[in-house]
Amino acid sequence: MKLALKNCLIINHNESFEANILIEDEKIKDITNEDINGDNVIDCHNKAVLPGIIDMHVHFRDPGFEYKEDIISGSRAAVAGGITTCLPMANTYPVNDNAGMTRYMVERNRKLGLVDLLPIGSITKKMEGKELVEMGDMLKAGAIAFSDDGLPVGNSEVMRRAMEYAKGFGSFIISHSEDRELSQGGMINEGEISTITGLSGIPSASEDIGVARDILLSKLTKSHIHICHVSSKVALKIIKMAKKERVNVSCEVTPHHFSFTEESLLDYNTNYKMNPPLRSTEDQEMLICGMKDGTIDVIATDHAPHHTDEKHIEFGNAAFGIIGLQTLIPLSLKLVKDNKIDLNDFVRLTSYNPSKILKLDDRGSIEKGKLADIIVIDKDKEYIFDDTINQSKSCNNPLYKTTLKGCALYTIKKGRLVYKFPDILI
């Protein structure tokens, strides 16, 4: 089967150009200005054609919490958001801390085949921060990296050994960097808004200290550390300094942290409750600058689905987290519209850099011979993000039932059309 994309405006991290794309046998067979034909043809006139998004940070809740999300529903939401490769975190039940659990996730995903699912194993058994997992066995089973995301590894000696162990297998650690002694009991960013609302605060210093420690351990062990969901301007400065000193550190930012600020908490909407919390406008502006200047390497969703009953309760008892697979594109396009970043930056942050960090040389750009993971974006499409659009089992997002602009019109995975707005194709 051949698939032809015609009249494409192709966006890579370093170039934009017009051409036609011919896809055959899961790969990009040709990129040409000559006329092409296929068994199926998609006219991409006035649309942007980008490499599929690689989301380095999702929570699919499978196994154990399938009432929130499972691998099947998470994959459907992913392709609806233009995401073709997903890295699910290990905080399932049981925890993904052994090769058998990793194999379960890989095999369950293979039956559906909408996305490539590359599990992140836990750093420690049961995510208790004490005993390291058998990383070699888990990597053979399909894991790609290791993280106790949701919990920091508090013991610096354990974290040091984890970095050394992962490095020995050619892998790396993804860190939820936080000093839990400082953040314990907090609900929102510590500052003026926490004072006004009376909600207990999480000081940004808790993130800053965690990031500094992890970077120092990376320098000590000469191993790669990837910092999750950076939200603090000081943490970002620390990362920037470390990069200047050639410490092997990379980092990510989430759409909710570059789109919302702590002022959203003034009406006590629990859908804005997350960890790390939404920070100040100054923090937000620094994050956007970091995306543009290269300090921030990746945009990742930290897609964290929760049942309605876990959000529509008293603020202090509400779960942390927000779904984000289908809001990544519209929130990022808002930055493009506001001239904060351009589409080439978007590709760099969502496809090219993740492919390099993960050593996935077969994707991350639209080139002849690469895997045909491609999305066609309609930048001007307006729609209501509701039950007819949302493919997740959960709806814990403050943008739910609001009008969004910009979407993945088509998602192509390994040459197969797996999504067409607004209907899922399986």
**For residue range 225-252, what is the model confidence (pLDDT) as tens digits?**
999 999 999 999 999 999 999 999 999 9
Closest CA to 379 of 83, 82, 114: 82
Residues 6+ apart with CB under 8 A from 63: 92, 93, 94, 101, 104
**Continuous segment of H or E residues that includes residue 362:** none
Q: How far apart are CA 60 and CA 71, in angstroms?
A: 6
Residues 253 and 45: their CA atoms lie apart, in Å, by 31
- The pTM of the full predicted model, rounded to 2 decimals, is 0.97
d(Cα 4, Cα 28) in Å, to the nearest integer? 10
* Average confidence (pLDDT) over 33-40: 93
Residues catalogued as catalytic: 302
Per-residue pLDDT at 288: 98
Strand 116-117 vs strand 83-88: parallel, antiparallel, or unpaired? parallel
Rounded CA separation 58/77 (Å)? 11
What is the share, in percent, of the chain residues with pLDDT greater than 70?
99
Cα distance between residue 289 and residue 340, in whole Å: 8
Q: Which amino acid is at 290?
A: G
In the block, tokens 């314990």 appear at 184
- Radius of gyration for the chain, computed over Cα atoms and rounded to the nearest angstrom: 20
CA-CA distance, 277 to 314, in Å (whole number)? 17
Residue 134: phi and psi, rounded to 5, are: -85, 85
pLDDT at 264: 98
Q: Is the peptide bond before 63 cis (omega within 30 degrees of 0)?
A: yes
Q: How far apart are CA 410 and CA 81, in angstroms?
A: 10
Q: What local confidence, expressed as pLDDT, does residue 1 receive?
A: 82
What confidence tens digit (pLDDT) does each residue in 85-138 have?
Answer: 999 999 999 999 999 999 999 999 998 889 999 999 999 999 999 999 999 999
Query: What domains are there in the chain, each with its CATH number?
Result: 2-49+370-381+404-424 (2.30.40.10), 53-357 (3.20.20.140)
First-to-last CA distance in the chain?
Answer: 17
Give the separation between CA 303 and CA 322, rounded to whole angstroms.
6
Would you call the peptide bond into 276 cis, given omega within 30 degrees of 0 as the criterion? yes
405: exposed, middle or buried (Cβ count in 10 Å: 0-12, 13-18, 19+): middle
Order of all β-strands in the sheet with 249-253: 120-121, 145-146, 173-175, 225-227, 249-253, 298-299
Q: Do residues 31 and 8 make contact, with C-beta atoms less than 8 angstroms apart?
A: no
Mean pLDDT of the chain: 97
Q: Over the stretch 301-350, which tens digit does the pLDDT of each residue have?
A: 999 999 999 999 999 999 999 999 999 999 999 999 999 999 999 999 99
Tell me the pLDDT tens digit for each residue of 254-274.
Answer: 999 999 999 999 999 999 999
pLDDT in tens, 126-184: 999 999 999 999 999 999 999 999 999 999 999 999 999 999 999 999 999 999 999 99
- Kindly report, residue by residue over 400-423, the tens digit of the pLDDT: 999 999 999 999 999 999 999 986
Q: What is the pLDDT of residue 249?
A: 98
pLDDT at 426: 45
The answer to whether the CB of 213 falls within 8 A of the CB of 156 is yes
Res 206: pLDDT: 98
